Amino acid sequence: MASRSLGGLGGNRGGGGGGGRKSLSARNAAVERRNLITVCRFSVKTLIDRSCFETIDDSSPEFNNFAAILEQILSHRLKGQVTWFGYESPRSFWDYIRVACRKVSQNCICSIENMENVSSSRAKGRAWIRVALMEKHLSEYISTALRDFKTTRRFYEDGAIVLGEEANMLAGMLLGLNAIDFSFCLKGEGLDGNFPAVIDYTPYLKFTQSSDSISSDEEELRTLGSSGSESSTPENIGPPFIMDENSWFNKCKRVKQKYQLTLEQKGYLEELLRLRENQLSESVAQNKILLQRIEDSDLAHKLEKEQLEYIIVELQDQLTVLKNNDLRSRQELTAHLTNQWPSPGALDVNAVALDTLLYRKHNKQWYEKSCQSLDQLSAEVSLSQTSLDPGQSQGDGKQDTLNLISEGKEDTPSLLGLCGSLTSVASYKSLTSLKSNDYLASPTTEMTSPGLTPS
């Protein structure tokens, strides 16, 4: 029975070994995260206290310890970089910061990348911590990097501080450092990336004895004192009374320490509250400015819309006036042309009368010209015959003249084709043009022409 029970116990132990290892690993990871976050909070408080008395620079032990703690936090469970051959080489937290903090406005990533005296990735990460503290943007950098959860998952393994709930506490703790003025030299030995950062825990380790343990110690002392004496006398009552005074003194000291710690926390929270109030006031001011800009833009838009509507109405009125004027001008021009141009019936009668008048006028002028030329010819013939036979020449001359006249005066309608038909508007226009170009001779022109005057 004993061997069976022992075997059963051994079997239970062997079966629960895997679960025990997992729980132990989880416990160790949780303790490690909690230790780093707690030490970081203490380091931030010591930095704030030290900044009240002196400027924080590279020689300050509080800053060196804080930089080491922050480097340990950002390097906690950081994945290695897989090489070409499949091996995993260690990497620095700077590789993660360089990618995750690109979205921060006016960031210092490019400046640190171009630094000549900083070559290693670890040294660049340390330089970034110093520059971010001097710019008072360390909390903003960390918050922006933690919001990029996809990039964070790509660089860190499960159980890392930046992937847990402690990450939000980290961003809030670092916000209090914005009230400190830092002064660092980026060419010092603190940027040497050949050695890892080591945290000094001694400033934060302080043993405080609980009240229960103090009372138990006092009871032990009383017991030892009572057993050493044979009889209880008033003189033996002194030491316990003195121990009671010491216990009260220790209690008062502990209360004082708690009060100081609470006072420090109160100062930190007040500083944090002041920063939040400043941010809130700036946000409210920016909101007012944006609202005022929106109102101004709305007002300008309304005024512009009213002006455009007024211009459209005015242009429509002008277009209506122009259309009316154009219509009126067309009507007046049509009426003017209608009144100036004769009717078709009157145009035909006038054209026939004018044709007849011009024909007669033309024949009369031609007849007069012919008579004048014949008179001149007959005069010359009569002169020549007179010189030969005066009596016969006169009679023959008159008879020839009459014959020539009768031959030249031939009533034929062949000349009507030269004037065209005057029964249409086109003929009337052509007749007017011929008259204007002196193709139809007038009586005054014929009479005043020097070529037709009798010699």
> Which pair of structure tokens corresponds to residue 338?
């209608």
Structure confidence at residue 326 as a pLDDT band (50, 70, 90) = very high
Question: Which residue did the predictor score with more confidence, 60 or 238?
Answer: 60
262-312 pLDDT, tens digit each? 888 888 888 889 889 999 999 999 999 999 999 999 999 999 999 999 999
21 pLDDT higher than 90? no
**Rounded CA separation 269/41 (Å):** 13
**Rounded CA separation 304/298 (Å):** 10
Structure confidence at residue 329 as a pLDDT band (50, 70, 90) = very high
158-187 pLDDT, tens digit each? 889 999 888 888 888 998 898 888 988 887
pLDDT of residue 6: 37
Structure confidence at residue 336 as a pLDDT band (50, 70, 90) = confident
- Lowest-confidence pick of 57-66, 215-224, 226-235, 446-455: 446-455
pLDDT of residue 262: 85
pLDDT of residue 313: 94
Give pTM, 2 decimals.
0.46
C-alpha distances (whole Å) from 158 to each of 18, 144, 149 are 19, 20, 13
So where are the chain's domains? 25-204
**Comparing C-alpha atoms, which of 40, 36, 48, 42 is closest to residue 178?**
48
Amino acid at 254: R
Averaged pLDDT for residues 370-382: 70
CATH T-level assignment (fold) for domain 25-204: Methane Monooxygenase Hydroxylase; Chain G, domain 1 (1.20.58)
pLDDT of residue 312: 95
**Rounded CA separation 303/295 (Å):** 12
Q: What is the 3-state secondary structure (H, E, C) of 192-248?
A: CCCCCCCCCCHHHCCCCCCHHHHHHHHHHHHHHHHHHCCCCCHHHHHHHHHHHHHHH
pLDDT of residue 440: 41
Question: Which residue did the predictor score with more confidence, 307 or 244?
Answer: 307
